[in-house]
């Protein structure tokens, strides 16, 4: 199956993040979106999903629990279930959630 980036739906998540839903089918074992962030996205804990970020361009600070790391193009980040996390910067990144993202399992801190 081929999923076209140019045909994918886009949505704003908060004031600073645009999400392109490239592969977001709830009956699958994962989802895959592209995030474009310009600013701070917030601090969250997800009780259901492991998240993976692959940095496509730009730079950001990712905080997992209280550990901050600078990330840039080519870096890969794993955010395990039940870990406090945030991202801030000007960055375009691929986001994989497994299982597919469930808004009701994510808590804002």
What region, left, alpha or beta, does residue 56 occupy, with left being phi > 0 and alpha being psi -120 to 50 degrees? alpha
User: For residue 30, what is the domain's CATH number?
Assistant: 2.60.120.10
Number of domains into which the chain is organized: 1
Q: Is residue 91 a part of any domain in this protein? A: yes
Asked if pLDDT for residue 27 goes beyond 90, the answer is no
Q: Is residue 109 a part of any domain in this protein? A: no
Segment 43-88, tens digit of pLDDT: 999 999 999 999 999 999 999 999 999 999 999 999 999 999 999 9
Eight-class DSSP state of 51: E
Q: Which domain holds residue 59?
A: 9-99
Helices (H), the chain: none
Segment 34-45, tens digit of pLDDT: 999 999 999 999
Residue 58, judged by CB atoms within 10 A of its CB (0-12, 13-18, 19+), counts as middle
The pTM for the full model equals 0.94
């Amino acid at each position: 199956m081929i999923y076209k980036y140019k045909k994918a739906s886009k949505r704003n998540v908060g004031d600073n993040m645009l999400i392109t839903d490239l592969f977001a089918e709830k009956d699958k074992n994962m989802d895959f979106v592209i995030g474009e962030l310009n600013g701070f996205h917030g601090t969250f804990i997800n009780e259901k999903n492991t998240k993976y970020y692959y940095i496509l361009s730009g730079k950001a600070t990712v905080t997992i629990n209280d550990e901050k790391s600078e990330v840039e193009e080519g870096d890969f980040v794993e955010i395990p279930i039940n870990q406090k996390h945030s991202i801030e910067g000007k960055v375009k990144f691929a986001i994989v959630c497994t299982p597919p993202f469930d808004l009701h399992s994510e808590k804002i801190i």
